Structure 1
């Protein structure tokens, strides 16, 4: 990327903006007030008018529900046609929209009135009978008749009363006692749970009034449908125009507001920004063709693409003829302005840019870790879930998101498909695991992996997966430290790289070589060494690194501590982090067992299970009453739980048991599916962000957003 400046007379600022906009390569940076005598620019004349029109167009699109797929092709749109047609569409749409709003308001009024009248219609008492008495007080409200009658029977101020009840409402007629105050009926009902209702005024009976209101509401709804149909017709007719108008006005607005980022005086302007180095000559030629020598395009700096930091950004002399010596960190007095970043990881890894950008877009001087996330995140997710059934559902959900949505949801769909694919692969590895059921048992075939480590027979597998998780973490951390070493050596020098990254590499690898060595063998658990044989089905054996190699690892770790102390003494306080960070990857095995255990628990409750080999073998699910009876009569089988579906018999209880088992299975596996996203997804992301990125990656870069726009709906004829 090259940092450039465009300097010229204000008389040609419009032409320069037009040329750079059409070239669509200059990422404009905001003026930071570092030039004496210059100030931020102002919008060009007419910007306010353009913005007002743009707001109008977008408002009309919102009212009509216009979307981007309603254009039959790109066409030119001149200002006169835009002005006249916009006025016509605005008048028609605003008139119809006002009519729609009025009708909707009237419909709401009718519905509120219907809701208010329905209790009185339920009572079946004429409205004029609910008031206007000299010697009676009347109250209408929602309450329980028994509670009202019990309260009024004990009221001192009431001589007589009568209660008429509907389904949810009561009407209370009462004659106050002599000398009682006005409103004694309401006062007597203070202790009753009653919601008082105001008696509406109407000349007809409540039922007739409600029926009339409903007829009016239906007539209004019919009118509303006609207005909606007219709006749909306007949308079909005007959608293409509105999309073209929005695009054209957006382009005009961006051009007229461009000087807000410029440095200006009364007669001159300076615009600065970044362009791909290979396009600089074309940009300069485009501006020169537009305004001749009234503007000058100069290349100020040139930043290489590889991670190399500020010390390698080159100042450029004579408009980019040859790089000059870097000055003051490579910015040649033009301020601290890092180049923008373009991430281009291809169609497969590209969607994983979303996960990287959630942490922070890479700086121009940083290695983009998207490809590494693409290679590791789905694998970690698949390892933790490891189930063919769940994996197929994850992939199906991802496919739906990928095909039905755009933007971030589409990218998440692609990530979900990759994660689902690896979940299926690991599910096959774990014994063709299908919603927690080892399908190889059903198929009656031998499978080398006996399970996930949940049953007595496959505990060795669980411990082996623990070792595999930590070893994966060691490899993952090594990649991060190597990238840190490379970046530091380029940004500074080899000595800094050795102190800041090489020291951690020595500590990490030296400590773990010592742990996996034959030094002090009695103090180390056997599964550390047996895991290799278990995972390779006995094809490879590992008894630990030789004692000499182990002590060499200890020396290397000690040397790393010395180098770390020389380079960054305060960091010695974290000398255990290589061990802690690698052990943190044990969460992969923990989630694997947790999710497998949850699926197993669901199946246990629904279908029942037993363990063969006298309780020392593998889990097997029962499913049917006949098989349960067979299991109960087999001495070598130990029942863990008989299950709900096994209680089936031709009775209400049996049918309910089977239905309950099915509900438990379906709901339980849905819960495991959802928790798999939150637990496995979050843990995998955490390992990427904290343990992995923490070694070499900061983020905080800016996206490359060139000034200009690719026309989609209009042509510039």
Structure 2
């Protein structure tokens, strides 16, 4: 669970005559994460694509372009079939879609032109002046536009070259007819006069029709174009319905063909031989061998070069013959062109059948890289892999934190919100996301929401809260364990207890991260594990062991340790504190850890001690802050709706003798004066009471929706921060490569797989 699936490096070598068959079978097996040959071996180059690759790629581009034109998605179609004449059928579809697409482009261009002309003539329709009256004059200048009439007239009055003018208005449109003086130039006369004011000029359309008739003609032309566009869209929709499944099936087959044809680009090849390497899950090796043997028999040599250890993965760059020495031809381990056909046998002899652990034996792994990663988690934890991959894919050599996130994230979320009503809604939101989204990520988000909602319900049950109201207040106090815990809004002891609980949770969480980091470092350096991880384990735990001990108890806050009334742990659990000697040992551990930090990290590490040993733990107090804040917001909403009433026991939410609810504990606020009756009782008379009740319902619904949504941003994001910043910082690097086998998943199989409730 904490480790990815163990991976095995395999090699396949043979003559180029069987290479197409080998590629086809490897693709069908969908097991091998191919390694890329780097061109470093003498006599071997990267292979060339198989004949027909260019043609298949060209057809694939065509099919995808057609799918884009049809806006085709897998959800719109059922699995299709391919006949022998599929190329002719594809060409007919391509020709027709291109014709329709070209015609649609022309019509859209015409439509834009018509709409622009309508927009240009619309202002003239507001004027109510025939268009032929707005142009063709030699002795006067005419201009139409939009602007302030007063500004236009003021500018014209001040123009020396204008003898007289007249303005006509209609809506925001202004038409100006101006007569120049004898010595003035009529060209751009009004334009020059209006420089400096805001005035948007409209060119006069060239037509003898009235504006109304011209607009009507253009609108008829627009309707005709839109009708033709609708016909084209309908024909494309018909093609989509009839040929969509066929196109998707062709795309699938061409994708497979292109993948197979381009596979040799990743192989090491010579004139007569090829060598391919890649990674497979170690427990799939036998199936891999059987699959190849069924296809090509003994025509290829198959080796399991190594089963990768989980420590830092390092290989030597030795020759592919596997011995690291002479290959029998005097070439120092580098295969020559003359010995190509003998290499499979030589390599087999060199590795003695070849199954080994990394770093053992004499066989060589020549295409050197980190093994790809297949996360190996319990089914309920798989959706939480998304939260890990949001940071980075784990390396093969490091521990996977998915299981720990699964154990901590929904638990902490539920603790911070703790309300049955909100929990039910969170579960419904998660279920909705799981149903709506088809992607693995979308379904993972939905499943995480369901888990978070379930723990919110669990803690809400223990807190005795449903939308901020105690279940015991509405006649449900008989439910077992309900009210076992208290959020601490009015009970100070509970609030202090949750502070200590959050610190304890933080210590457990951070220790888990440091231990994982210690294990990761131990795999390649004991010194690094001690100085970089064990040092902080000693320092942090030693400090808090001392804090919760009876050593120097007089100098510590009363609520942490002791037997006084303020000592919450003693009051709740009978725990007065760790023995004094344990505290002294903890203090020694703290100083020992600090010394290791100073030795391993120098002066910079010393300055980090307050943050790592103390500050990071206190970061978990944000859990208490969210708990009290969200509980307080829910209480405030209910207070506005139901009000508060004074009882012999103190102030309470609401008192409804008519419903048999006469004694309600609620949240007591003795300092609340005067009492607030709440919106449900704020009305005076039938009409005002009805309005007040409607207002109370709206405040209750939208107020709790607000608390619900803020709960996602507060509890969800704050816990993510604790996971990523505090927890991951102790051990996680990431940067691994995800397992991506050479092959193709059938559409029907993928569709059935996507129905699973967890992200694989």
TM-score with structure 1 length normalisation? 0.85
CA–CA separation in structure 1 for the residues paired with 2:608 and 2:281: 42
CA–CA separation in structure 2 for the residues paired with 1:62 and 1:426: 49
Q: CA deviation at 1:214?
A: 1.6
Q: What is the match of residue 732 of structure 2?
A: 697
- Most deviating of 561-570 and 240-249: 561-570
Alignment partner of 1:464 out of 497, 511, 530:
497
Alignment partner of 1:513 out of 545, 559, 562:
545
Secondary structure of 1:359's aligned partner? coil
Q: CA deviation at 1:474?
A: 0.6
Q: CA deviation at 1:242?
A: 0.7
Q: What is the match of residue 227 of structure 2?
A: 222
Q: CA deviation at 1:402?
A: 0.8
- Most deviating of 240-249 and 330-339: 330-339
Secondary structure of 2:428's aligned partner? helix
Secondary structure of 2:549's aligned partner? coil
> 1:131-171 CA distances to partner (integer Å, 9 max, x unpaired)?
22223222211223343334434444433333222222222
Alignment partner of 1:375 out of 382, 393, 407:
407
Secondary structure of 1:271's aligned partner? strand
8 Å CA contact retained: 1:71, 1:713: no
Q: CA deviation at 1:472?
A: 0.5
Q: Work out whether 1:310 is the aligned partner of 2:318.
A: no
C-alpha change, 1:701 and 1:148, in structure 2 (3 Å) is: same
Secondary structure of 1:362's aligned partner? coil
Q: CA deviation at 1:651?
A: 12
- Most deviating of 465-474 and 28-37: 28-37
8 Å CA contact retained: 2:111, 2:222: yes
> 1:641-700 CA distances to partner (integer Å, 9 max, x unpaired)?
887787656799999988887777666655544443333322211211222122222222
CA–CA separation in structure 2 for the residues paired with 1:213 and 1:260: 59
Q: What is the match of residue 94 of structure 2?
A: 90
Q: What is the match of residue 36 of structure 2?
A: 30
Q: Work out whether 1:206 is the aligned partner of 2:214.
A: no
8 Å CA contact retained: 1:247, 1:713: no
Alignment partner of 2:628 out of 593, 613, 616:
593
> 1:273-325 CA distances to partner (integer Å, 9 max, x unpaired)?
11122332343344345445543222211125xx4443899x99756746457
Q: What is the match of residue 113 of structure 1?
A: 117
C-alpha change, 1:311 and 1:250, in structure 2 (3 Å) is: closer
CA–CA separation in structure 2 for the residues paired with 1:389 and 1:239: 45
C-alpha change, 1:442 and 1:290, in structure 2 (3 Å) is: closer
Alignment partner of 1:343 out of 371, 375, 378:
375
CA–CA separation in structure 1 for the residues paired with 2:498 and 2:449: 24
C-alpha change, 1:612 and 1:451, in structure 2 (3 Å) is: farther
8 Å CA contact retained: 2:416, 2:626: yes
8 Å CA contact retained: 1:17, 1:255: yes
8 Å CA contact retained: 2:435, 2:443: yes
8 Å CA contact retained: 1:402, 1:413: yes
CA–CA separation in structure 2 for the residues paired with 1:193 and 1:291: 82
8 Å CA contact retained: 2:561, 2:570: no
8 Å CA contact retained: 1:561, 1:572: yes
Q: Work out whether 1:418 is the aligned partner of 2:451.
A: yes
- Most deviating of 368-377 and 149-158: 149-158
Secondary structure of 1:337's aligned partner? coil
8 Å CA contact retained: 1:311, 1:329: no
> 1:443-487 CA distances to partner (integer Å, 9 max, x unpaired)?
696974796445xx3333333222221110011112222333444
Pairing 1:98-247 to 2, within 5 Å after superposition: 98-182=102-186, 183-247=188-252
Q: Work out whether 1:580 is the aligned partner of 2:584.
A: no
Pairing 1:511-550 to 2, within 5 Å after superposition: 511-529=543-561, 540-550=573-583
Q: CA deviation at 1:92?
A: 1.8
Q: Work out whether 1:706 is the aligned partner of 2:711.
A: no
C-alpha change, 1:392 and 1:325, in structure 2 (3 Å) is: closer
CA–CA separation in structure 1 for the residues paired with 2:78 and 2:285: 36
- Most deviating of 338-347 and 315-324: 315-324
8 Å CA contact retained: 1:622, 1:646: no
Secondary structure of 1:367's aligned partner? coil
Q: Work out whether 1:56 is the aligned partner of 2:62.
A: yes
8 Å CA contact retained: 1:176, 1:185: no
CA–CA separation in structure 2 for the residues paired with 1:164 and 1:329: 99
Q: What is the match of residue 629 of structure 1?
A: none
Q: What is the match of residue 261 of structure 1?
A: 266
Which residues of structure 1 form unaligned runs of 5+?
A: 624-633
Which residues of structure 2 form unaligned runs of 5+?
A: 1-6, 317-321, 324-347, 657-668, 750-760
8 Å CA contact retained: 2:392, 2:735: yes
- Most deviating of 82-91 and 241-250: 82-91
Q: Work out whether 1:397 is the aligned partner of 2:429.
A: yes
C-alpha change, 1:640 and 1:694, in structure 2 (3 Å) is: farther
Q: CA deviation at 1:271?
A: 1.2
- Most deviating of 189-198 and 557-566: 557-566
Secondary structure of 1:310's aligned partner? coil
> 1:207-241 CA distances to partner (integer Å, 9 max, x unpaired)?
11112222222222222222222112211211121
Q: Work out whether 1:688 is the aligned partner of 2:723.
A: yes
Secondary structure of 2:732's aligned partner? coil
Q: Work out whether 1:556 is the aligned partner of 2:589.
A: yes
8 Å CA contact retained: 2:97, 2:236: yes
> 1:243-277 CA distances to partner (integer Å, 9 max, x unpaired)?
11011100000001111111223333221111122
C-alpha change, 1:203 and 1:502, in structure 2 (3 Å) is: same
Secondary structure of 1:585's aligned partner? helix
8 Å CA contact retained: 2:569, 2:576: no
Q: What is the match of residue 630 of structure 1?
A: none
Pairing 1:596-675 to 2, within 5 Å after superposition: 596-599=631-634, 607=641, 620=653, 637-639=672-674, 648=683, 670-675=705-710
C-alpha change, 1:547 and 1:419, in structure 2 (3 Å) is: same
CA–CA separation in structure 2 for the residues paired with 1:341 and 1:635: 60
When the two chains are superposed, the root-mean-square deviation of aligned CA atoms in Å is 3.8
Q: What is the match of residue 754 of structure 2?
A: none
Give the number of aligned pairs.
693
C-alpha change, 1:17 and 1:509, in structure 2 (3 Å) is: same
Q: CA deviation at 1:181?
A: 3.8
- Most deviating of 570-579 and 105-114: 570-579
Secondary structure of 1:342's aligned partner? coil
Q: CA deviation at 1:348?
A: 2.2
C-alpha change, 1:34 and 1:137, in structure 2 (3 Å) is: same
Q: What is the match of residue 251 of structure 1?
A: 256
CA–CA separation in structure 1 for the residues paired with 2:55 and 2:370: 35
